[in-house]
Structure 1
Amino acid sequence: MMTIELLNRELTLDTQAPALTPTDTDILGRIGSLETRLARNAREIDAAQAVRYRVFSEEMHAQLGAEADRRRRDVDAYDAICDHLLVIDRAIEGDVEDQIVGTYRLLRQEVALAHGGFYSASEFDIEPLLTRHPDKQFMELGRSCVLPAYRTKRTVELLWQGNWAYALKHGMGAMFGCASFPGTRPEEHALALSFLHHNVAAKGEWAVSALPELHREMDLMPIEGVNARKALSAMPPLVKGYLRLGAMIGNGAVVDQAFNTTDVLVVLPIASISDRYINYYGADAGRFAS
């Protein structure tokens, strides 16, 4: 109960969302000059990859390789099969490619299985999770990033508006994906990782673990030594955002040397999303789209 109260106390719901015009049929949401929708063409995907490079390589010091550095793009094979959710600031002068300030990569289960599987499977043993839920379609969220000047409540709300609308449109039963802590030393995040382990671990039919050869312990502090308020303050905003929605965290972290991160797996059944947020975004994803 302490966890939910602390998380909800941090969110002030914004009720000012301008309506869309009838011609904006593929826009999933809009607040002020910001809007969210899927990339429409290869140029927009390329621009999203440039945003990813700026965040992952230039800011977070990921080692993406010589070709990525030459092109100044974060690119991998999954880009060709994923949908790319964008946040666009129409107040920025220039072409739409210059206006992309945030992005998320979305991969549906049917698409993943037709092309060799999910990205997260390189770090986490997700096959048992999928097998236990043959009646549900899973959706992987990845490569989330936002330019520093846009790391605000409004941008995060639009990204989640887009995810929610996309999940409803495609009949998804659960979302999952890697979320990252900065750096490659899990012990530097002992408080936050221990809080996740003790309080929001995915169990039972939703249990999932890091691959044995990559598994790093998250149980770094005893439960009585974990201060919930301090732990939540130490969480990356993306992880905290997942928790607000009702997400669980898999067993074990994975160190990603290339991206200079410590990753955890987030599991979010659609049915577990807090009613508070379903009411906020709209049961039909219409909160920011009408």
Structure 2
Amino acid sequence: MTTNIADRPGLDLVAERASIVRPGSDAKLLGRIGSLETRLARTASEIDAAQAVRYRVFVEEMRAKLDPEAERRKRDFDAFDLICDHLLVLDRSLEGDTEDQIVGTYRLMRQEVAEAHGGFYSASEFDVDSLIARHPGKRFMELGRSCVLPAYRTKRTVELLWQGNWAYALRYGVDAMFGCASFPGVYPEAHALALSFLHNNVSATGEWHVEALPHLKRDMDLMPAEAINARRAMMALPPLIKGYLRLGAMTGSGAVVDKAFNTTDVLIVLPISSISDRYINYYGADAGRFAS
């Protein structure tokens, strides 16, 4: 039986990082727009810097409550960081070392990596195991810990993050992506319009259906369908979720409140076959749109 790396008591992340982290030896540049570049982290120090960016966004901006060690180090970290690849966006116009130039990040975990270490992060909130079991011939990839510093929340940065995700998915023959996406706050009712819109219009069905874990599940169907104004609902969606929907994503059934991160989470499910031709043509079937 495989033990989830996140459940191992007393894990010393600093001591183990050098032996477990595989900062991409083939982490070539995946894209460039102006002074911004995207690629995988190459060193443990770059991963540490990405964790510092996550801390600034999740704790200092969004008021997440992390454990005392994370607060002391001013890093958002967990054991999954040791086994995931870390996609970075860097602004090369900034002075300093590479670590000082990281302005955005995503955490990527392939199915074979998750299975070797006890499962996906999202499995703590959603029944992704059942989803994957229904697709034995497909390869899944989890997207997580997405964040961008406030000054860089622009179209260019988002385009580069997706350039990196798309190039990575092509490199590893990924058939579907999924991951948690968040609304601010721990009261789903505050997002009744947006959650009800997702439930009624883009909820995954059939072979792609996935439920929040029963003991955590919160209802997303908070308004009558006839009362939902689609335009207003789209405006109420967080930009990340709106971007996923434009690509062709679906959502799982039920939301989950994450009190530690001060968020209400939904599961995003994006089969590669569902990605709009418009976006595949834009980024390139070979991810060549912004590649160097």
TM-score, length basis structure 1: 0.91
Structure 2: segments with no counterpart, 5+ residues = 1-25
What aligned pairs does 1:100-179 form with structure 2 within 5 A after superposition? 100-179=102-181
1:252 aligns with 2:269: no
Q: 2:17 matched to which residue of 1?
A: none
1:251-278 alpha-carbon deviations (Å, 9 max, x no partner): 0000000000000000000010000000
Read off the aligned partner of 1:82 and give its amino acid letter.
C
Q: 1:98 matched to which residue of 2?
A: 100
User: Matches of 1:115 and 1:127 in 2, distance apart?
Assistant: 14
Read off the aligned partner of 1:283 and give its amino acid letter.
A
User: Matches of 2:128 and 2:87 in 1, distance apart?
Assistant: 23
Match of 2:38 among 33, 36, 39: 36
1:222 to partner: Cα distance: 1.0
Q: 2:188 matched to which residue of 1?
A: 186
Q: 2:235 matched to which residue of 1?
A: 233
User: Matches of 1:117 and 1:127 in 2, distance apart?
Assistant: 8
1:130 to partner: Cα distance: 0.4
Q: 1:52 matched to which residue of 2?
A: 54
The CA RMSD measured in Å over matched residues stands at: 0.9
User: Matches of 2:171 and 2:277 in 1, distance apart?
Assistant: 19
1:160 to partner: Cα distance: 0.3
What is the count of residue pairs matched by the alignment? 267
Read off the aligned partner of 1:185 and give its amino acid letter.
Y
Q: 1:14 matched to which residue of 2?
A: none
Structure 1 counterpart SS, 2:217: coil
User: Matches of 1:190 and 1:125 in 2, distance apart?
Assistant: 23
1:25 to partner: Cα distance: 7.5
Q: 1:85 matched to which residue of 2?
A: 87
User: Matches of 2:27 and 2:112 in 1, distance apart?
Assistant: 25
User: Matches of 1:222 and 1:168 in 2, distance apart?
Assistant: 40
Q: 2:201 matched to which residue of 1?
A: 199
User: Matches of 1:173 and 1:136 in 2, distance apart?
Assistant: 6
User: Matches of 1:66 and 1:129 in 2, distance apart?
Assistant: 35
Structure 1 counterpart SS, 2:180: strand
User: Matches of 2:128 and 2:77 in 1, distance apart?
Assistant: 23
1:142-175 alpha-carbon deviations (Å, 9 max, x no partner): 0000000000000000000000000000000000
Read off the aligned partner of 2:36 and give its amino acid letter.
L
Q: 2:4 matched to which residue of 1?
A: none
1:83-117 alpha-carbon deviations (Å, 9 max, x no partner): 00000000000000000000000000000000010
User: Matches of 2:136 and 2:127 in 1, distance apart?
Assistant: 16
1:41 to partner: Cα distance: 0.5
Read off the aligned partner of 2:276 and give its amino acid letter.
S
Read off the aligned partner of 2:210 and give its amino acid letter.
V
The list of structure 1 runs, each at least 4 consecutive aligned residues, that deviate by more than 3 angstroms after superposition, is: none
User: Matches of 2:109 and 2:81 in 1, distance apart?
Assistant: 9
Read off the aligned partner of 1:270 and give its amino acid letter.
I
Structure 1: segments with no counterpart, 5+ residues = 1-23
User: Matches of 1:127 and 1:93 in 2, distance apart?
Assistant: 44
TM-score, length basis structure 2: 0.91
Read off the aligned partner of 1:43 and give its amino acid letter.
S
Read off the aligned partner of 2:119 and give its amino acid letter.
G
What aligned pairs does 1:251-270 form with structure 2 within 5 A after superposition? 251-270=253-272
Structure 2 counterpart SS, 1:289: coil
Structure 2 counterpart SS, 1:30: strand
User: Matches of 2:229 and 2:289 in 1, distance apart?
Assistant: 35
1:108-129 alpha-carbon deviations (Å, 9 max, x no partner): 0000000010000000011111
